[in-house]
Structure 1
């Protein structure tokens, strides 16, 4: 089971890697921290309730009520916890996202030390929005470790105000509360939808699944294959404000298909809709049902907006969409990026480019905040957070 693997071998090795960088940086008191930002996930079933509470408390992600957000979050998390606990139990007792985030961050810093020695030593950190280690705890650790230079590296390849924007807001709140003397100078990698490693890794994983279909059937014909790129959906009231996310996910999809020479049919679909509001579609489950019902089409699902496995891949796609379909043998899920060396090399390349060009943030980041808040001054804090 996943829980046994992560609890024993995997976590032990990742923790060893992190400790090595801890000792290096404490001795020199310099270098560059690389902070992987993501939503996170509960590493064990008992953590589910707090994870849900943190998630529904985030007004940037789920705008319920500025005055009663936490009260409503407490009610919703209490109501949903038993159901979500069962889901995490079914995928091995917890989310692997912490393990993979630590693994990826550690490998990136290991390679950065060799490729970009002028900003070395590089130290990996993980800052989750809704699970341990929470962003505030990570900021406290950065200060304790004497960090003076840090790169906030979003692990949402495609920007959305609901995800990366929320993490940036939380980072700014933590800076104001914990770092009033501005000990740490920050910059941010706020999007990377066409990153070469991201594109190549997905292309490799798709081709691997195509080969599985070929091995299983001597009469397999790629004309009967459709690639479904599945990304987490967003409410339409977020999209209608001009959020960057749909366009950037589409950019990732198109670039991956370019790498594959457009030799397969494909569509971009959206998963994980909750609540009564209209959400961005078409929904993954609906399209799978439509294409899978005749029993002749082969489908490959690609979790294109996720950098590792978690509940949306291991439960929603594997145990719901695929397992409950009429012809599950005709559907395969493309492997998540996880420990792909191709992908990790892409993350390294993104960091090297960012550090060598001394970028603070992309030109679009201010506009993202202006549109999300309908306020021409909404992005002004970025210059304070990420000085030129």
Structure 2
């Protein structure tokens, strides 16, 4: 495992120049029972998925009162980012906009434009690179700018704002450190009378076709997760003083049965481990930045029920959430992207990005054709529960 240290950047009032606003971009989620079906229709717009199929996913929300926890978690993350920026002496508006529910991205950008912003730096709640975790956000930003342009009377084809996006940050030191902290804390909660737990790194499954397309980014979605898993397992082993046996597993599959998705499913894997004699596990949801619906339902409800049925002692590790290393790392990424933009504008080389693990930092500006979704592929209700896959 290699570690590339961050470039030292002196935080000043203009450290984010040329950007004059930050956009925290997320998936969105319903706020109550009446929002659930309209939200799911937004998520699956253009896919021809009938309401009967969406109703199955809707039950996940109704199980929790119809509201997704992602909204409160995004507000908490936004507040943490504002505090960390202020701690460094940086005063910049931090907006919040969603792809699929209020507050919508276009509305946030329209407000930014009205307040005088012209260059916006976007930070998405997806650490990994894939169609749904990266490219779809870029496509969404484009369509949102078109919408804002129509509202403000911009010349067709000319956008009233510029948006740049922070690179995929799965292997940034802040993300890995926060994930390691969560795993170490979970092992402290394990039953001391049980066997040393096996570690299951969990992320959102995606169709195999999306996995293949993600390789254009430099490493596939699965390879990105394996890199993070190795880094966290190695760091946690050093801190715990005992070796960790681990696996990468998936949750939240939602496509048609005939379409291959990444496996094994966490519930299937729990059964296989039990059959092989495993009696204790820690589940670490490294594919998600907060404890939203996939975590609350697919892990805390379904996977925990599977473990209990099998008699396997299970502890679920926390997500990176608003942990200090993660928030600090996000602000480092904002500063890194701003420095890269200034360098590129001056005809210089991009600023080197800080990383942990075997993979290099992903590009700030994606390669042509990166993570393109194959036409006609049904990704089902991918991430329909509340957030991006490995988001």
Tell whether 2:225 aligns with 1:249. yes
Offset at 1:189?
0.6
Q: Which residue of 2 is the match for residue 89 of structure 1?
A: 62
Residue deviations 1:273-328 (CA, integer Å, cap 9, x gap):
12221111122111111113466431111111111111111011111111133245
Report the Cα distance in structure 1 between the residues aligned to 2:371 and 2:61, rounded to whole angstroms.
36
Q: Per-residue displacement from partner, 1:145-181 (whole Å, max 9, x unpaired)?
A: 2222211112110111123211110101222342345
Distance in structure 2 (CA, Å) of the matches to 1:300 and 1:371: 31
Take 2:311 and 2:76, find their aligned partners in 1: how far apart are those partners? Answer: 32
- Tell me if 1:160 matches 2:130: yes
Show CA shifts across 1:338-377 (max 9, x none): 23223222222222222233378953753363562689xx
**1:173-208 deviations in whole A, cap 9, x for unaligned?**
222342345443322113001122211111111111
Distance 1:282 1:227 in 2: 14
Q: 1:231 aligns with which of 184, 190, 203?
A: 203
**Match for residue 287 of structure 1?**
269
Q: Structure 2 CA distance, aligned partners of 1:124 and 1:139?
A: 11
User: Counterpart in 1 of 2:323?
Assistant: 340
Q: CA deviation at 1:256?
A: 1.2
SS in structure 1 at match of 2:40: helix
- When the two chains are superposed, the root-mean-square deviation of aligned CA atoms in Å is 2.6
Distance in 1 (alpha carbons) for counterparts of 2:312 and 2:373: 46
1:316 aligned residue: 298
The 1:242–1:344 alpha-carbon spacing in structure 2 relative to 1, beyond 3 Å, is closer
Contact 1:112 1:352 in 2 (8 A): no
Cα distance, 1:329 vs structure 2: 5.5
**Equivalences for residues 84-163 of structure 1 within 5 A:** 84-115=57-88, 117=89, 120-163=90-133
TM-score (norm 1): 0.76
Matched ranges for 1:202-217 at <5 A: 202-213=179-190, 216-217=191-192
More deviation, 33-42/178-187: 178-187
Partner of 2:246: 266
> Separation in 1 of the partners of 2:19 and 2:209?
42
Aligned residues: 323
Q: CA separation in 1, counterparts of 2:281 and 2:58? A: 29
Distance (Å, rounded) in 2 between the aligned partners of 1:123 and 1:328:
50
Match of 1:186 among 163, 166, 176: 163
* Distance (whole Å) between structure 2 residues aligned to residue 86 and residue 140 of structure 1: 34
C-alpha distance in structure 1 between counterparts of 2:272 and 2:280, whole Å: 12
> Does 2:44 correspond to 1:56?
yes
| Cα contact 1:228–1:266 (8 A) shared by 2 | yes
Using the alignment, how far apart are the partners of 1:137 and 1:328 within structure 2? 49
**Contact 2:24–2:95 (8 Å) recurs in 1:** yes
CA separation of 1:328 and 1:151: change in aligned 2, threshold 3 A: farther
Q: Is the 8 A contact 2:19 2:338 kept in 1?
A: no
Cα distance in 1, alignment partners of residues 35 and 119 from structure 2: 31
Shift of 1:40: 2.0
State the TM-score, normalizing by the size of structure 2: 0.75
Q: Quote the offset at 1:127 in angstroms.
A: 1.9
**Cα shift readout 1:34-73 (whole Å, capped 9, x = no counterpart):** 212222222222211111111111xxxxxxxxxxx26x14
**In 2 relative to 1, CA 175–333 (structure 1 residues): closer, same or farther, beyond 3 Å?**
same
- Which ranges in structure 1 are unaligned for 5 or more consecutive residues? 1-29, 58-68, 376-388
| SS of the residue 1:150 aligns to | strand
Query: In the alignment, does 2:178 pair up with 1:201?
Result: yes
Kindly indicate whether residue 212 of structure 2 is the aligned counterpart of residue 240 of structure 1: yes
Q: Which secondary structure does the structure 2 equivalent of 1:335 belong to?
A: coil
Secondary structure at the aligned position of 1:240 is classed as helix
- Secondary structure class of the residue paired with 1:305: coil
Q: Aligned with 1:357: secondary structure?
A: helix
